[in-house]
Amino acid sequence: MEVYKFASPQRRRFHLSINTILIGINILVFIALAILVSINPQFINYFSLGPSTVLHGKYLWTFLTSMFSHQYFWHLAFNMMSLFFLGVIVEKILGPRRYLLFYLGAGLFAGLAFVLLAGFLGTSLIGAKLFGDPSVTGLGASGAIFGLVGLLAVLTPRKRVALIAGPLLAIIFESVISNFASVSIINAVDLIVTIYVFFSIFAMFSFNPTMRKMTIPLNMPFWFIPIVAIVPLFIVGLFIPLPIANSAHLGGLIFGLIYGTYLKLKFPKKTKVISNIFSR
């Protein structure tokens, strides 16, 4: 592992971090997918991961394409905001090469968990609510991002961070409204949620405390984030259909927890230093 190997001022050169490149790829794929779908809506099937499709041996490449694809702007914005804050920490801890391999591994494992859990356990009514319907496809970087959460929960458990709950609550509210409201109201709510996610991104970088509070930040230690970010969504999903792949989040989280535990056992002294640095 590499821990804060900063170059001296004389040797420091401009270069793009792996995390910046990953964010850039997600944005470029989002634009490309939006163009392709506007030409033919069926193009979404070549990017999104479908449990029933993959289990029949088709579109296997979607394990990779789905983790870089987003269909809606609020989805892209929320995930990239999370990746921006979490990825920069993990890349400094692991180093660029290991970070890239870890990110890809977490995303692929999350996709595998989504396919297996939805494909084999999602055939019942309760199973579909908990793990997803096997006929419903999924896409997004959140599975890999939950891998980062799992890793940091093990390596930096005492570091206090602000979980931005506002955008997530807005998405849940939109899901509730979409179950009974008219199309015009749903479209209006969708616009409001998109504007709010936009606002949340700028508010996070604002020096105005009032603006930051409007994103509903929940301050907590890193070890507690996986519980807050996953358990409530599983419970809510039992009553309200959510556009969230809980099984993929769980898979990414497990991958991060396992790799974090491996590092902690193999490099006890280094991981202790890392924990102390990020707990100040």
User: Which residue has tokens 């490149």?
Assistant: 21
The amino acid sitting at 129 is: K
| Structural domain boundaries in the chain | 18-121+140-160+223-236+245-277
User: What does the pLDDT read at residue 70?
Assistant: 93
User: What does the pLDDT read at residue 13?
Assistant: 62
**Residues across the chain:** 280
The whole-angstrom separation of Cα 78 and Cα 59 is: 27
3-class state of residue 219 by DSSP: strand
Cβ-based burial of 219 (10 A; exposed 0-12, middle 13-18, buried ≥19): exposed
CATH superfamily of 18-121+140-160+223-236+245-277: Rhomboid-like (1.20.1540.10)
DSSP state of 49: B
Distance of CA 249 to the CA centre of its chain: 7
| pLDDT tens, the chain, 280 aa long | 544 443 444 455 657 899 999 999 999 999 999 999 999 999 999 999 999 999 999 999 999 999 999 988 878 988 998 899 899 999 999 999 999 999 999 999 999 999 999 999 988 888 888 888 999 999 999 999 999 999 999 999 988 887 777 887 887 787 778 777 778 888 888 888 888 877 887 787 777 788 888 888 878 888 888 888 888 878 877 777 777 888 999 999 999 999 999 999 999 988 888 888 876 6
Nearest alpha-carbon partner for 111 in 270, 263, 252: 252
129's enclosing H/E stretch is helix 125-131
User: What does the pLDDT read at residue 259?
Assistant: 97
With a CB cutoff of 8 Å and minimum separation 6, the contacts of 226 are 146, 149, 150, 153, 253, 257
Nearest alpha-carbon partner for 120 in 232, 247, 259: 247
The whole-angstrom separation of Cα 280 and Cα 271 is: 15
Nearest alpha-carbon partner for 164 in 205, 114, 223: 205
With a CB cutoff of 8 Å and minimum separation 6, the contacts of 100 are 18, 22
The whole-angstrom separation of Cα 274 and Cα 265 is: 14
The whole-angstrom separation of Cα 111 and Cα 88 is: 23
> Which residues face 160 on adjacent strands?
221
Nearest alpha-carbon partner for 109 in 251, 259, 262: 251
User: What does the pLDDT read at residue 280?
Assistant: 61
> Which residues face 174 on adjacent strands?
none
pTM summary value: 0.85
The amino acid sitting at 240 is: I
